[in-house]
């Protein structure tokens, strides 16, 4: 019949999480509730990112703001939305945000919360005004046994992450999430349902692909081995062709493309930024977990496994290479 062409058995994020929860006997449903709050913040941020463009357009048409209030910048709105979602979830004991210098503790408002969350609410925000894709990155740790939530609960290596992922706000909002020892699953926000729908189950990154993604404007500051690695990609490879370059300048968008198509994404440490640019807790480690669970790899500029790095302070930076398994092997071979 006609109706058979319509999928009536849709897997929403809620359904997916409920089914995942059933697999874990000891699960209390707390994590599912935390994810509910997370996905709400993604929907809200996605909505305001789309709306912001319209607000700017009215501005251009000569309309004045009646109250004279300054329009809040989007990264402030994104940060506030995220904080409020985490606080009200009742499951988050503490939060690290790129926009906040210090850890935010919810201990006074919440008892029994068992998770510590790190996030970059709107990563790549320098791209916002041009309508280029940006994203939210998140990593979730479980508090140590008996802990009510301290700095030590979040200053953990990525190997201990319970879950991590990101949402890219592009042509549509794409949510990618993975759990410890699990697969990587991609969801697309269906705006009419207001639901994230499972569209990319069990994502696997291609084993190799001749695409590199790096800010080549920094090459003056690169170490010699970094220079020779990227230089080598510009000469004919086994198939007689050099690599293609793709760089959006939004980590989430560059990483999402790399996850789907394969290749390498890098932000190496260099002479200008010896510690690298990207942040360990809410940029490097969550992405590294996604890439490893999808069959790829992630290392820092010392070629150490990214997930094994323990940050000393919440905003610590690192150089990073992440991508297809074979592409990261090639990076390593140039840095011996």
Q: Give the C-alpha separation, 301 to 82, whole Å.
A: 31
Question: Of residues 251, 284, 285, 299, which one binds ligand AHM by CB under 6 A?
Answer: 251
What x/- string results for residues 106 through 125 when contact with ligand AHM is judged by CB under 6 A?
A: --------------x--xxx
Q: Determine if 270 is a binding residue for Mg ion (CB under 5 A).
A: no
- Contact (CB, 8 A) for 34 and 140: yes
Pick out residues in 16-75 that bind Mg ion (CB under 5 A). none
Q: Tokens 């970094």 — which residue?
A: 226
Give the x-and-dash track for 213-242 against Mg ion (CB under 5 A).
------------------------------
Residue 98 binds to ligand AHM (criterion: CB under 6 A): yes
Q: Does 250 bind ligand AHM (CB under 6 A)?
A: yes
273 binds ligand AHM (CB under 6 A): no
C-alpha–C-alpha distance, residues 166 and 220, integer Å = 31
Contacting residue, 75, 123, 195, 292, with Mg ion by CB under 5 A? 123
Q: By CB under 5 A, is residue 120 in contact with Mg ion?
A: yes
Which of these ranges, 203-211, 226-234, 235-243, 247-255, lies near ligand AHM under the rule CB under 6 A?
A: 247-255
Q: Which residues contact 244 (CB under 8 A, 6 or more apart)?
A: 210, 211, 212
The reply to whether 90 sits near ligand AHM by the rule CB under 6 A is no
CA 228 – CA 234 distance, rounded (Å) = 10
Per CB under 6 A, 132 contacts ligand AHM:
no
Which listed option, Mg ion, ligand AHM, none, makes contact with residue 249 (CB within 5 to 8 Å by class)? ligand AHM
Query: What's the min distance (Å) between Cβ of 255 and ligand AHM?
Result: 8
- Shortest distance in whole angstroms from residue 111 CB to ligand AHM: 33
CB of 98 to Mg ion, least distance (A): 5
Q: Count Cβ atoms within 10 A of the Cβ of residue 220 and give its class: 0-12 exposed, 13-18 middle, 19 or more buried.
A: exposed
The verdict on 254 binding Mg ion (CB under 5 A) reads no
Minimum distance of Mg ion from residue 132's CB (angstroms): 14
Torsion, CA 81, CA 254, CA 319, CA 233, rounded to 10: 180
C-beta of 123 vs 153, nearer to Mg ion: 123
Q: Is the Cβ of residue 111 or residue 126 nearer to Mg ion in the bound state?
A: 126
Closest approach, Cβ 310 to ligand AHM, in A, equals: 21
Q: Say which entry of ligand AHM, Mg ion, none residue 327 contacts (CB below 5 to 8 A, set by partner kind).
A: none
Q: Which does 215 bind (CB under 5 to 8 A by kind): ligand AHM, Mg ion, none?
A: ligand AHM
Is 185 a residue that touches ligand AHM (CB under 6 A)? Answer: no
For Mg ion, which is the closer residue by CB, 17 or 214?
Answer: 214
Q: Which is nearer to ligand AHM, 40 or 221 (CB)?
A: 221
Helix pair angle (285-293, 251-261), 10° resolution: 10
Binding positions for Mg ion, rule: CB under 5 A: 120, 123
Binding positions for ligand AHM, rule: CB under 6 A: 98, 120, 123-126, 215, 249-251, 267, 277
């Amino acid at each position: 019949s006609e109706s058979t062409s319509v999928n009536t058995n849709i897997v929403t994020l809620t359904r997916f999480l409920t089914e995942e929860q059933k697999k874990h006997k000891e699960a209390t449903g707390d994590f599912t509730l935390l994810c509910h709050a997370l996905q709400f913040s993604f929907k809200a941020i996605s909505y305001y990112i789309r709306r912001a463009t319209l607000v700017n357009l009215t501005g251009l048409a000569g309309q004045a703001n009646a109250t004279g209030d300054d329009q809040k910048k989007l990264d402030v709105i994104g940060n506030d939305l995220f904080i409020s979602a985490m606080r009200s979830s009742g499951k988050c004991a503490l939060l690290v945000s790129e926009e906040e210098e210090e850890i935010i503790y919810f201990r006074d408002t919440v008892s029994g919360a068992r998770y510590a969350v790190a996030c970059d609410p709107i990563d790549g925000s320098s791209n916002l005004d041009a309508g280029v894709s940006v994203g939210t990155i998140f990593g979730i740790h479980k508090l140590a046994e008996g802990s009510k939530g301290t700095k030590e609960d979040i200053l953990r290596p990525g190997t201990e992450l319970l879950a991590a992922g990101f949402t890219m706000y592009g042509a549509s909002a794409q949510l990618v999430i993975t759990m410890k020892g699990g697969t990587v699953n991609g969801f697309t926000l269906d705006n009419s349902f207001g639901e994230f729908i499972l569209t990319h189950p069990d994502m696997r990154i291609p084993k190799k692909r001749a695409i590199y993604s790096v800010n080549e404007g920094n090459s003056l500051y690169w170490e010699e081995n970094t220079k020779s690695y990227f230089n080598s990609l510009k000469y004919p490879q086994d198939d007689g062709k050099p690599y293609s370059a793709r760089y959006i300048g939004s980590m989430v968008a560059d990483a999402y493309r790399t996850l789907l198509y394969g290749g390498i994404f890098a932000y190496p440490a260099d002479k200008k930024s010896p510690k690298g640019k990207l942040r360990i807790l809410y940029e490097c480690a969550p992405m590294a977990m996604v890439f490893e669970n999808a069959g790829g790899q992630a290392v820092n500029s010392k070629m150490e496994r990214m997930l094994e790095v323990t940050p000393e302070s919440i905003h610590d930076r690192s150089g990073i290479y992440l991508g297809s398994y074979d592409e990261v092997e090639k990076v390593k071979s140039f840095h011996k």
